[in-house]
Amino acid sequence: MAMTKGGTIGVDLVTVALLDDAGKIKTGADGLTTNGIFVITDEVLGTNQANITNLEGTVTEIYGNNGAVDSSTGKGNTSIAFVFNALPTDVKHKILGDKSDGKGAGCHHKSSHVSLR
C-alpha cells in the first residue's frame, strides 16, 4: 500500500525475534522459531495495524514576565503497538516474557528484548 496524503501506509510484512542480553537473536527453544525469526504471514492472518507514537518529544513553553519566553522539547518515548489477527499463543507468551507455572497457566517472568522488522 502506498503513502496517502494523510500519512497512512500499509503493513506488508512484520518479522519478530527475541534478543539476548548481547543483542543476538535467540534461536531454538529460547527463540520464537528454530532460526529465531517469526514471520507474521497470511498463515496467522497477517498484521492488521501498526501504530507508532511519540516519535518526537513534547514542546513545553516556559513562561515569564506575563508571557512565553522560551520553549523546551523533551525526548520522545517512541512506542509501537501492533494488532496481529491470529498470533499463536506460545509466540505471544514468549514475546511478553511469560513463563509456564507448571500448572497450565503462565506468569510474567521478565520482559523480553524484542526486535521488529
Q: How far apart are CA 73 and CA 32, in angstroms?
A: 38
The pTM of the full predicted model, rounded to 2 decimals, is 0.66
> What is the widest separation between alpha-carbon atoms in the chain?
65
Lowest mean pLDDT among 55-64, 88-97, 105-114: 105-114
- 94-107: pLDDT as tens digits: 888 877 666 766 66
Q: How far apart are CA 35 and CA 24, in angstroms?
A: 12
- 61-84: pLDDT as tens digits: 989 888 888 888 888 788 888 888
Closest by CA to 18, choosing from 105, 107, 98, is: 98
